[in-house]
Chain A
Amino acid sequence: MSQETGRPSSEFLSEASEVVESFSRDLLELDAQQRKGDYDPDLLNAAFRAIHSLKGLSSLFGAAPIAALSHALESALDSLRLGRIPLSQAALDLLFESVDTFQRMLAAVGAGEDVPRADALLAQIEALAKLEASAAAPPPTLAGLDDAVLGVLTEYEEHRLRENLRLGRKLYRVHASFDLMAIDVGIESLKNKMKAFGEVITYLPSADASAEDRIDLDILMGSDASLEQLTAGVGEDGVDVAEIATEREEARPMSEPSAPAPTARVATETRLRPTAPPVSMEDEGPSQPELSLRSVSQTVRVELSRLDHLMNLIGELGVLQASLVSSLEPLRALAGTADVSREFRVHLRSMDRKLSLLQQGILDVRMVPLGQVFDKLARVVRKLGREADKEVRLNISGADTELDKLIVEELSDPLMHMIRNCIDHGIEPSQDRKDAGKPGVGRIDLRAFQKGNRVVIEVEDDGRGMEWREIRQTAVRRGLVDDAASRELGMPEVLDFIFVPGFTTRESATSVSGRGVGMDVVKTNIARLSGMIDIDTSPGRGTKFAITLPVTLAIIQALVIQSARRTYCIPLNSVLESIMVQRSEIRTIEGHEVISLRGKTLPLLHLDRIFALARGKGERDMDRFYVVIVGLAQHRVGLVVDELLGQQDVVIKPLGRALRAVPGIAGATEIAGGRTVLLLDVSKLVEESITRPDKSADRREVARA
């Protein structure tokens, strides 16, 4: 075939080897489970998918003997996973033999030798695939699912539905609605809950009710649990569970209705194992001396500045790579250069791949456990508790949660301040606590855990909590809001006042937390790390602060845009979508420009106006422009820009002093062509558009890059 001439075989080799290794791991686990009784069908499906990928790969890259063997194996595994043939020891032996054969074949490709054929094995596998299960019972029908649903399932998914019925399980449809921005976090948490109850078969996305930026999913699963048990177990806001009616209902007297078949139970337990909760670090004593000695000998301490240097170099390499890509453009236009340009492009892609591996490698090196800062806080709690003459116990969990070193460093001050606040304002004196019927010793919980691609840190005390109506009164007294307007405010809005500089409901500051560092500084610090803070409080029972942070700040994906011929980057994780808008679609409500988007009003922010960018002559009269819809929590704002230039991974660089004070700018970065551009601070822009829509005009001129 023509397409593999000149294609480097290293890409093929590395991926094919990975696939064979993962196939081999699946087989080993499958074998172990099979010997114990029953196996997890997901494992067999994973084995099928591995070989399916290998077949696609090897056929595209012209490795015929590998393609032939994987083709035969794919059919055999398809029959196995569809239950047409049983997973016998003989079948497993053949599968294991094929692992060895693939490895020999790949070694030959690597050495540039002729790939050996494996005709004998091939014949045996083909014979296996032709076996049909004897006396297979007629499969149960899926009467409760309409054709529209059945039509989008793969054959395997349909088989798993029937198989769950055959094992005496019920089928459920779990309906969930997710915010598109939080979909990975939401699905991961729901998936784990569902897996504890049975087999999750497929996820059907639907657009009909997905207003704006939400997505609806119908998840089909099989489970031994009753509707009530499942609802209690996976139920959360926006999640509905419904049982799918099946023919089995009528046929029930034939089988035992409530006691699940033993095979079903084994399979369920098998699946439960990987989702067992991780052991809490909370109560662990000092680690074994032997262990720590060994870890010392395997660790190298590196100065952060050296890693930063490497990180910058990688960023520059990325920029260089992007420049190479653009220098390829003119080459492509020249006649007779197709081959050269193709080769060039192939190498560039391979370089791109290696660059991102390098980038990931450095990011991994930068990750450190939060325990480093938690230990410091434990000491602080002891010291401050003594100073304030209060008895406080600190409970730590999730100290092994990892974050970028830089973030961990930056967290120690805000966390310290929050702990001070807990001790000073939250925890009551011992006697007051006893009078209120609480234990005399106050408790502060410091928890960290990973949630999707973010890390959440919670600081919770069991102290007096915050009386939000009192905060509201103080806000009125301080002139932050007028009396009438304050009555419209609910608890979340009112709690936001504690982040206003200098805000306190106390008349005098104490030595513990009255040191001029308020919650406003905490919020600024967390925002600088692209984090968010949520507060939950209950008078008399305590307060919980939850900080949500990205795992790393060093590299982000950004949307590169242009406004008034100046280029900016917008972090892609806050971009919901980009649309094209006609000037005529814009309306003005109370002096603010808005558009209607799928029935909702979306406020617009003009980047050129925010940063007071001068436009060239004739540039103003554009009939159509792009609107980038960005979101923060529940708020949505459309940023009006002139051009969308594309997406890019960017390395964030700290801002110089001149720009640090400019709201709306989060950092600087380099893009292709070696230009330095500014990264927009979406949270600030959204926040300003909500609170003070008119203030944007007096933005300082320095923001013009």
Chain B
Amino acid sequence: MADLVLLVEDSRAVRDFVGSILELAGDYEVVEVENGFDALRALPRSEFVLVVTDVNMPDVNGIELTRFIRQSPKHQGVPIIVISTDALHPDVQRAMQAGASAFLAKPFSEEEFLATLAKVRSPNRVES
């Protein structure tokens, strides 16, 4: 079975963009959700090898989601890439402190995304 990636992002077009990069990059199947609550529901159902999430979301934000993932036994080691429009925003710092593995500021190119993906996935890839 293809490796599962959880993509949390409210913009359809951005989900499409990131989703296509991942699907073209390798044997990934992307589970796309629009908000934090749907992410919470999707997490226990499957074993994800990567989480990509927007920071700025209503209700459950990307920082809260990151903290939650780091607490959960099933996914505590999963790489998390957070996406923001502003690399210098304090919210990005908070996400990194909460345990995010890397961040990407929009706009990013396919190459930048892939470089970040390689960085977070290579160091301690866990075989399930």
A342 within 8 A of B: yes
The interface on chain B, measured as residues whose beta carbon lies within 8 A of the other chain's beta carbons, has a size of: 55
Chain A interface residue number, banded? 35 or more
Q: How far is the CA of A12 from the CA of B14 in the complex (A)?
A: 9
* Known A60-B107, A154-B91: A11·B20 in contact at CB below 8 Å: no
| B71-107 contacts to A (CB < 8 Å) | 71-74, 83, 85, 89-91, 94, 97-98, 106-107
Decide if B109 touches A2 in the complex (CB within 8 Å): yes
Closest residue on chain B to residue A212 by CB atoms: B44
* Known A349-B19, A646-B29: A152·B94 in contact at CB below 8 Å: yes
B118 within 8 A of A: no
A184 proximity list for chain B (CB < 8 A): 37, 41
Decide if B1 touches A644 in the complex (CB within 8 Å): yes
B24 within 8 A of A: yes
Q: How far is the CA of A334 from the CA of B76 in the complex (A)?
A: 37
B60 proximity list for chain A (CB < 8 A): 202-205
B20 proximity list for chain A (CB < 8 A): 342, 345-346, 349
Q: How far is the CA of A444 from the CA of B91 in the complex (A)?
A: 55
Closest residue on chain A to residue B26 by CB atoms: A332
Which one of A227-235, A426-434, A574-582, A653-661 contacts B? A574-582
Closest residue on chain B to residue A628 by CB atoms: B45
Contact with A along B48-67 (1 / 0, CB 8 A): 00000001101111011111
A527 within 8 A of B: no
Choose from B17, B71, B74 the contact partner of A3 (Cβ within 8 Å).
B17
A137 within 8 A of B: no
Q: How far is the CA of A175 from the CA of B61 in the complex (A)?
A: 17
* Known A15-B12, A349-B20: A155·B58 in contact at CB below 8 Å: no
* Known A1-B109, A11-B12: A60·B17 in contact at CB below 8 Å: yes
Contact with A along B13-41 (1 / 0, CB 8 A): 11011011101100001010000110011
A183 proximity list for chain B (CB < 8 A): 37, 40-41
Decide if B37 touches A576 in the complex (CB within 8 Å): no
A310 within 8 A of B: no
Decide if B61 touches A643 in the complex (CB within 8 Å): no
Q: How far is the CA of A45 from the CA of B41 in the complex (A)?
A: 25
A474 within 8 A of B: no
A643 proximity list for chain B (CB < 8 A): 1
Choose from A59, A203, A598, A644 the contact partner of B106 (Cβ within 8 Å).
A59
B105 shortest CB reach to chain A, Å = 9
Choose from A151, A204, A206, A342 the contact partner of B94 (Cβ within 8 Å).
A151
A40 within 8 A of B: no
B107 proximity list for chain A (CB < 8 A): 1, 56, 59-60, 62, 67
* Known A15-B12, A180-B41: A580·B128 in contact at CB below 8 Å: yes
Decide if B31 touches A647 in the complex (CB within 8 Å): yes
B118 shortest CB reach to chain A, Å = 17
B17 shortest CB reach to chain A, Å = 6
A207 within 8 A of B: yes
A53 within 8 A of B: yes
* Known A11-B12, A11-B16, A55-B106: A152·B47 in contact at CB below 8 Å: no
Choose from B14, B31, B61 the contact partner of A157 (Cβ within 8 Å).
B61
B21 shortest CB reach to chain A, Å = 8
| A161-218 contacts to B (CB < 8 Å) | 180, 183-184, 187, 202-208, 213, 215
B2 proximity list for chain A (CB < 8 A): 646
Decide if A202 touches B64 in the complex (CB within 8 Å): yes
B77 shortest CB reach to chain A, Å = 14
A504 proximity list for chain B (CB < 8 A): none
Decide if A57 touches B13 in the complex (CB within 8 Å): yes
A94 within 8 A of B: no
Choose from A60, A155, A202 the contact partner of B59 (Cβ within 8 Å).
A202
A7 proximity list for chain B (CB < 8 A): 17
Decide if A576 touches B45 in the complex (CB within 8 Å): yes
A153 within 8 A of B: yes
* Known A3-B110, A183-B41, A576-B44: A205·B65 in contact at CB below 8 Å: yes
Decide if A207 touches B37 in the complex (CB within 8 Å): no
Q: How far is the CA of A62 from the CA of B36 in the complex (A)?
A: 28
A345 proximity list for chain B (CB < 8 A): 20, 23-24
Which 4 pairs between the two chains have the least Cβ-Cβ distance? Answer: A59-B107, A207-B71, A577-B44, A56-B106
| Residues of chain A at the chain B interface (Cβ within 8 Å) | 1-3, 7, 11-12, 15-16, 45, 49, 52-53, 55-57, 59-62, 67, 71, 74, 151-155, 157, 180, 183-184, 187, 202-208, 213, 215, 332, 338, 341-342, 345-346, 349-350, 353, 559, 572, 575-578, 580, 598, 643-647
| Residues of chain B at the chain A interface (Cβ within 8 Å) | 1-2, 10-14, 16-17, 19-21, 23-24, 29, 31, 36-37, 40-41, 44-47, 55-56, 58-61, 63-68, 71-74, 83, 85, 89-91, 94, 97-98, 106-111, 128
